[in-house]
């Protein structure tokens, strides 16, 4: 079990690395195409900003770790491995073809295909797929497109009486700043998905040993507040026919259960450092709005390693996709690049705060189109845009299919 967990973590970090160079163009393509930064400078700056963004929160990671599967006990490390194989395969294919597809949707699609292939359709939370993935899949590009169009119109109105060289020089500075913020936003959303996958793997391992993550106080919660919240949650669980066990709420009971379990020695001796915990928060989806749900807390080592993998992957770069996004959709000016990047950043950061695993690729691509249409519809190369949209539509089912095939193969090999 331990060797399989290590393999899954390594593959997850490899996916994060691939995500970094696959999505590097999201933040730097327009800056490179307008000459604001060289490719080398752009990917280094983007990589560092991605690293900082990845350290800034865990809302998206918590959703991936606990929001898409009904029971973590149904998810084994093999299932997560199959999901990563499906997502990575699609990412590498689209990178090779130079098409900016979504790593986020590839990962969600891979997880759906692997879970269904292992435990059936009832194991996956399809309502969350619709609410948190499919609806934002449509909404975020539309909002990015419209916002970039408005920002570009406002920028042109502000600059209408300024000298051209002042506008160009100022736009280049603004575009550099917006490229940094977009990279930060990308790390804030995309790196968290792999953190969530690692936490899901560890939670599944605990379930395999007959354990569940310890419920800890939410950040800033007083002991009395935590006790009251825990009592409410216990009553809620009893009413639902799912009583809590002592090891979920008491560190001493968890320690005793851990020592009696088949968990490896490193887990028994270093549980607090390497395994995820959970805290309780309001469940807005409950009937009265007063229900509670568990939110996964990501281990620090997973946060740091995922941030580093994303950073190094971004520095590795992705020239093919940079060319597609920077020149083949529309010839971008510095002012248009700024409008596109600042609009994409706004959408991504809002969605990240809400815990939505957004496609940064979709946002920035649509924002580039929105900024470009201020020159007229003919300014956008709609043939290239159509190819990108087709890739968007195919990403979820294609990665799910590969993951489904992968879990069948893994089951045949390992049982």
Query: Tens digits of per-residue pLDDT, 347-374?
Result: 888 888 877 777 777 787 788 888 878 7
* Stretch among 39-48, 292-301, 321-330, 367-376 having the lowest mean pLDDT: 321-330
Q: What is the pLDDT of residue 358?
A: 77
- Locate 402 and state its tokens: 């590969």
DSSP state of 219: T
Q: For residue range 153-172, list pLDDT tens digits in order.
A: 998 888 877 787 788 788 88
CA distance 66 to 102: 21
State pTM to two decimals. 0.82
Mean per-residue pLDDT over the chain, rounded: 82
Residue in the block written with tokens 């968890």: 254
Helix spans in 159-210 (H) = 164-208
Res. 406 pLDDT band, cuts 50 70 90: very high
Q: What is the pLDDT of residue 142?
A: 87
Answer yes or no: is pLDDT of 328 > 60. Answer: no
Answer yes or no: is pLDDT of 210 > 80. Answer: yes
Spatial contact of 143 and 347, defined as CB atoms under 8 Å apart: yes
For 149, the 3-state DSSP assignment is: helix
Higher pLDDT, 147 or 336: 147
Q: What is the pLDDT of residue 354?
A: 78
Q: What is the pLDDT of residue 401?
A: 93
Residue in the block written with tokens 């990015």: 144
Higher pLDDT, 240 or 386: 240
Burial status of residue 234 (CB atoms within 10 A of its CB: 0-12, 13-18, 19 or more): middle
């Amino acid at each position: 079990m331990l060797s399989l967990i290590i393999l899954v973590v390594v593959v997850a970090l490899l996916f994060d690395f691939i995500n970094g160079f696959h999505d590097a163009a999201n933040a730097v393509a327009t800056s490179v195409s307008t000459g604001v930064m060289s490719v080398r400078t752009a990917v280094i700056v983007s990589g560092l900003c991605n690293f900082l963004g990845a350290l800034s929160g865990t809302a998206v990671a918590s959703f991936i770790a606990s929001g898409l599967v009904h029971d973590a006990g149904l998810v084994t490390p093999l299932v997560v491995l199959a999901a990563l194989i499906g997502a990575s395969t699609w990412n590498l294919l689209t990178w090779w073809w130079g098409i900016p597809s979504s790593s986020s949707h590839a990962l969600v699609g891979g997880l759906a295909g692997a879970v269904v292939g292992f435990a059936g359709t009832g194991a996956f939370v399809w309502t969350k797929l619709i609410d948190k993935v499919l609806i934002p899949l449509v909404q975020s590009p539309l909002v990015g497109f419209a916002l970039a169009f408005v920002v570009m119109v406002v920028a042109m109105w502000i600059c209408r009486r300024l000298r051209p060289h002042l506008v160009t020089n100022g736009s280049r500075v603004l575009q550099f700043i917006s490229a940094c913020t977009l990279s930060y936003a990308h790390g804030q959303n995309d790196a968290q998905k792999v953190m969530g996958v690692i936490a899901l793997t560890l939670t599944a391992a605990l379930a395999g040993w007959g354990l569940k993550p310890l419920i800890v106080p939410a950040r800033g919660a007083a002991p009395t507040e935590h006790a009251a919240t825990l009592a409410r949650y216990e009553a809620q669980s009893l009413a639902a026919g799912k009583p809590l066990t002592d090891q979920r709420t008491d560190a001493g009971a968890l320690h005793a259960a851990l020592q009696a379990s088949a968990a490896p020695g490193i887990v028994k001796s270093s549980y607090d450092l390497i395994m995820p915990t959970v805290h309780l928060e309001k469940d807005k989806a409950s009937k009265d709005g007063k229900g509670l749900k568990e939110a996964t807390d990501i281990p620090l080592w997973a946060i740091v390693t995922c941030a580093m993998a994303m950073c190094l992957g971004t520095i590795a770069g992705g020239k093919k996709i940079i060319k597609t996004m920077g020149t083949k959709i529309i010839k971008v000016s510095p002012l248009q690049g700024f409008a596109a990047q600042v609009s994409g950043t706004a959408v991504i950061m809002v969605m990240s705060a809400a815990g939505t695993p957004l496609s940064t690729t979709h946002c920035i691509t649509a924002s580039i189109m929105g900024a470009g249409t201020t020159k007229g519809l003919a300014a956008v190369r709609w043939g290239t845009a159509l190819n990108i949209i087709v890739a968007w539509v195919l990403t979820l089912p294609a990665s799910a299919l590969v993951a489904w095939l992968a879990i069948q193969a893994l089951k045949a090999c390992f049982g």
